Structure 1
Amino acid sequence: MSMLTTANLRRIGSQRRLVTGLVITVVIALMAIVGPWLAPHGENDIVGKPFTHEGSWLGTDYLGQDVWSRLLDGGGSILLISVLATLLGMVVGIMIGVVAAYIGGWLDETIMRLNDVALAFPQILLALLVLTAVDQPSWWMIVLLVGISHAPRVARVSRGVALGIVSRDYVTSAEALGESRLRVILAEVLPNMNAPLLAEAGLRLTYSIGMVAGIGFLGFATNPGAADWGQMINENRLALLVQPWGVLAPVIVIGIFTVGTNLMADGIAQLAGRGD
């Protein structure tokens, strides 16, 4: 077991994309988690005149609040919602894709044609259609909308991976032994899909972050008064030439984080390819 673990660690360490992406992702996540305790001011404290270089090193925003403090305070919600939405989309999409591949026949055809219809709708447009119908969106509503919008894409990928597994000998042997379909899926099919699904999860997390930030930018934040990276961009965009850090700081952090998750997803995919 120790030799296997050491070999796996060496394989992971040899993937520079994976290691670099993992480090970037962890650093930004830690910033979002411990940031509120490191912020020099409260997220709603007025520390100077609007759009000046008072306060800390990033200056003030449209109300005179400290940009650096709000940047440290504003990451927790967007990352939590993005992670939960990614988990929801992965679980629902994997269930749909694996069931369709395993059962096959007319049910597979029906599920995937309905899935194609769902894929035709732009993700952000579907979310906005629902959010415009409510006065103040809740965090769970954004999680649900973003997660469900990921499900058809995850279903397409998971079905493609599962099709290459359901016909293998160990799956046929499990069926011949009288194992239930649910047990065959859980014990034989899903464990052999780990690497491709992890890569897909990294990609979905990247899209979740961009989508949640975009929803906040368009004015659908769950708490209009709280610090939020997407909302910060919208609040300070009119003074971009006067005090750019109110916009550039959250844009840079979101961009770095999405690069990290993309590198991590690419590294996992390369690692899976070598493992094959």
Structure 2
Amino acid sequence: MSAEEAAPPPDIAPAEPSTFRKAMGQKRFVVGLTITVLLVLFVVIGPHLAPFGETEVAGPPFSKDGVLGTDYLGQDVLSRLMYGGTSILLIAVFGTLVGMVLGILVGVVAAYAGGWWDEIIMRGNDVVLSFPQILLALVVLTAVEQPTAWILVLLVGISHAPRVARLARGVALGIVTRDFVIAAEALGEKRTRVMLAEVLPNMSAPLLAEGGLRLTYSIGLVGALGFLGFSTDPGAANWGQMIQENRLALSTQPWAVLAPCW
């Protein structure tokens, strides 16, 4: 037997686990993903299983009829709860997507440009960041007679963009100076291609985590606006609006207020 045949095979490095596999190994991610999936299933399937219609009267106002009783108009609280999450979730999802796209674009461009461009972009970002999200939304909505879904989507997205931009810039700063980015630039690749093909793919893990966090905040923001009376349809079921409509009867019919809070 020759020396080459007797030599042990070279060690093969194990494959690097994917970002999703790494995340699934964390209990917090699994719990958060499970809650999110259950919430989405409830919102999607709920309207098809509701015992009454969205605006159907099921009994006297604030009665104990049904599983969760009735609201201030005698509508079934459980049915309203099943219908009330659709608009909130849709606006929150699209608003989060808008905020993530805008924020990532601003953050990556600032980190990749560097120098004075970085200072100018991020100082302008800080100005927008200084406004509280709910205050920024209220200033715009008070000037609108009846808010539409796309206005709420834009408000949610714009309010999230500065926060996403700060994270994206911080992550991108550690990537734009790495060898594979410098090599791509040396080969004459366009800057837009370098950002899309080299920088962004290496930012996926922190951006996915930030996206989940932003979605949670978006749901809370849209619900808070509904509580304050800024909903796309005043007659439609809305979790935030349900709390506002029934809060005066908290002591007599608490489920009309507590059920949308979950």
How big is the shift at 1:15?
A: 1.5
> Which structure 1 residue ranges, 4+ long, deviate > 3 Å from structure 2?
3-13
The counterpart of 1:40, out of the listed 33, 51, 69, is 51
SS of 1:75's partner is helix
User: Please, which of 243, 249, 256 is the counterpart of residue 233 of structure 1?
Assistant: 243
2:9 aligns to what? Answer: none
Partner AA of 2:220 in structure 1: G
Superposed, 1:86-101 pairs within 5 Å as 86-101=96-111
Question: Would the aligned equivalents of 2:19 and 2:205 in 1 still touch at CA under 8 Å?
Answer: no
Gaps spanning 5+ residues in structure 1: where? 253-276
Paired residue for 2:5? none
Give a deviation string over 1:66-122, Cα, whole Å, max 9, x none: 000000011111001000000000000000000000011111100011111111111
Counterpart mapping for 1:243-258 below 5 A: 243-252=253-262
From 24, 43, 51, the counterpart of 2:62: 51
* Residue of structure 2 equivalent to 1:147: 157
Supply the AA of the counterpart residue of 2:231.
Answer: A
1:176 maps to which residue? 186
Instruction: Please state if 1:83 is matched with 2:83.
Output: no
2:41 matches 1:24: no
Over the aligned positions, Cα root-mean-square deviation in angstroms equals 1.5
Question: What is the rounded CA distance, in whole Å, between the counterparts of 2:15 and 2:63 in structure 1?
Answer: 56
C-alpha distance 166-8 of structure 1, shift in aligned 2 (>3 A): closer
C-alpha contact 2:110 2:122 (8 A) present in aligned 1: yes
- The 2-side partners of 1:9 and 1:181 are apart by 29
**Please, which of 219, 229, 233 is the counterpart of residue 209 of structure 1?**
219
In structure 1, what is the equivalent of residue 3 of structure 2? Answer: none
**How many Å apart are 1:14 and its aligned residue?**
2.6
Distance 2:17 2:71 in 1: 49
Supply the distance in 1 between the matched residues of 2:141 and 2:47 (Cα, whole angstroms).
28
- The structure with the largest alpha-carbon Rg is 2
What TM-score, normalized to structure 2?
A: 0.92
Q: 1:115 aligns with which of 118, 122, 125?
A: 125
Secondary structure, counterpart of 2:35 in structure 1: helix
Would the aligned equivalents of 2:147 and 2:230 in 1 still touch at CA under 8 Å? yes
**1:43 partner letter:** E
Amino acid at match of 1:245: W
Counterparts in 2 of 1:177-196, with a 5 A limit? 177-196=187-206
1:16 shift after superposition: 1.4
**Aligned residue identity for 1:92:** L
- Deviation, structure 1 residue 20: 1.3
Q: Distance in 2 between matches of 1:219 and 1:229?
A: 11
Instruction: Report 1 or 2 for greater relative contact order, CA contacts < 8 Å, sequence distance ≥ 6.
Output: 1
In the alignment, does 2:138 pair up with 1:134?
no
Contiguous gaps of at least 5 residues in structure 2: 1-13
Please give the alpha-carbon distance, in whole angstroms, between the structure 2 residues aligned to 1:24 and 1:88.
23
Name 2:26's counterpart in structure 1. 15
Query: CA-to-partner distance for each residue in 1:131-189, whole Å, 9 max, x for gaps?
Result: 01111100000000110011111111100000000000000000000000000000000
Of 233, 236, 243 in structure 2, the residue corresponding to residue 223 of structure 1 is: 233
How many pairs were matched up? 249
Between the two proteins, what is the percent identity of the paired residues? 67
- For residues 192-234 of structure 1, the C-alpha deviation after alignment (integer angstroms, 9 at most, x for no partner) is 0000111111111111011000000000110000001111111
**Residue type of the partner of 1:17?**
R
TM-score (norm 1): 0.87
Distance 2:178 2:133 in 1: 35
What SS does the aligned partner of 1:74 have?
helix
Q: Partners in 1 of 2:50 and 2:15 — Cα distance?
A: 43
